[in-house]
């Protein structure tokens, strides 16, 4: 990778994968789309049914916080760093926050949710097509909310935005991957889209940057995973707070730049091949 340099001791896994050097948002994850999920103005973005509430609570307790925790601990050696930040800013984070992370692993969402101790009320905006896969049920009960595709028009997006207005009113937390698409085991940090930071400014919610980094697979962990797959660590950084006294565009850009810098630092990146913002990508 050109123009990529890390601090001494930072582990960079070599998975033999090829990554696009021009478009950081190419979707490498290509599942089988064998379900139907129409996301229009009639989609139940806010599901208050007893069945849904029971499933989300149950899945968080039994699947995420029990089964998934054990699986990730054995298979990926999952570790957490910086959890004292959650205690340090307990009061500031109590009204809800937006966690962000680099999007690089099959189980990166669950890993981050475990790291920050997310409750079953967390909501996660997700690519709509992912709800047309065999993961549809899990995505819904873990808190996934499909983003309406452009062809559904403004009415669907209006309902989506109204749903997040309601989630914010209830004090829920949100999790967003500002890199958009998943690039397995990619170690540089790709440019961020502005959605998470625009939402942070709108709702005056702090951004909680989290960084996923890698460790060489050693010891007993060789028994539970492929030899070339790295172990992972999720580190939590200092929250970044919006400033309503500043113009929206200016403050959104500030939060984006500070978040990207914070995550690069946690990842041990000295030189990064991508700019922080999608706006700074070379124009074709």
Which residues does 65 contact at the CB level (< 8 Å), separation at least 6? 114
Q: Which of 64, 117, 105, 110 is nearest to 214 (CA)?
A: 105
What H or E segment, with its residue span, contains residue 214?
A: strand 207-215
Q: Which of 223, 152, 238, 163 is nearest to 199 (CA)?
A: 163
- Residue 229, pLDDT score: 93
The predicted structure's pLDDT at residue 284? 66
| Predicted pLDDT at 231 | 96
Please tell me the predicted confidence (pLDDT) of residue 283. 79
Give the pLDDT confidence score for residue 225 in this predicted structure.
85
Predicted pLDDT of residue 1: 61
Q: Which residues of the chain, if any, have pLDDT below 70?
A: 1, 284
């Amino acid at each position: 990778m050109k123009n990529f340099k890390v601090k001494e001791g930072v582990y960079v896994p070599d998975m033999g994968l090829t990554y696009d050097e021009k478009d950081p948002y190419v979707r490498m994850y290509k599942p089988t789309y064998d379900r139907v999920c129409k996301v229009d103005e009639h989609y139940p973005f806010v599901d208050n049914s007893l069945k849904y509430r029971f499933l989300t609570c149950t899945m968080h307790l039994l699947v995420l916080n029990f089964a998934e925790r054990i699986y990730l601990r054995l298979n990926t050696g999952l570790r957490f760093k910086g959890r004292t930040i959650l205690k340090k800013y307990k009061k500031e984070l109590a009204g809800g926050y937006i966690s962000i992370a680099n999007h690089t692993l099959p189980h990166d969402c669950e890993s981050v949710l475990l790291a920050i101790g997310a409750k079953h009320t967390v909501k996660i905006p997700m690519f709509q097509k992912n709800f047309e896969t065999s993961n549809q049920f899990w995505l819904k009960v873990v808190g996934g909310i499909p983003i309406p595709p452009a062809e559904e028009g403004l009415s669907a997006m209006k309902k989506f935005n109204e749903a997040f207005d309601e989630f914010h009113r209830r004090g829920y937390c949100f999790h967003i991957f500002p890199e958009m698409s998943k690039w397995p085991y990619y170690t540089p940090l790709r440019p961020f889209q502005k959605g998470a930071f625009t939402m942070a400014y709108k709702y005056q919610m702090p951004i909680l940057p989290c960084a996923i980094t890698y460790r060489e697979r050693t010891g007993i962990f060789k028994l539970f995973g492929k030899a070339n797959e790295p172990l992972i660590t999720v580190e939590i950084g200092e929250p970044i707070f919006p400033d309503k006294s500043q113009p929206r565009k200016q403050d959104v850009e500030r939060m984006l730049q500070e978040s990207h810098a914070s995550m690069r630092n946690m990842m041990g990146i000295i030189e990064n091949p991508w700019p922080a913002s999608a706006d700074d990508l070379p124009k074709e």
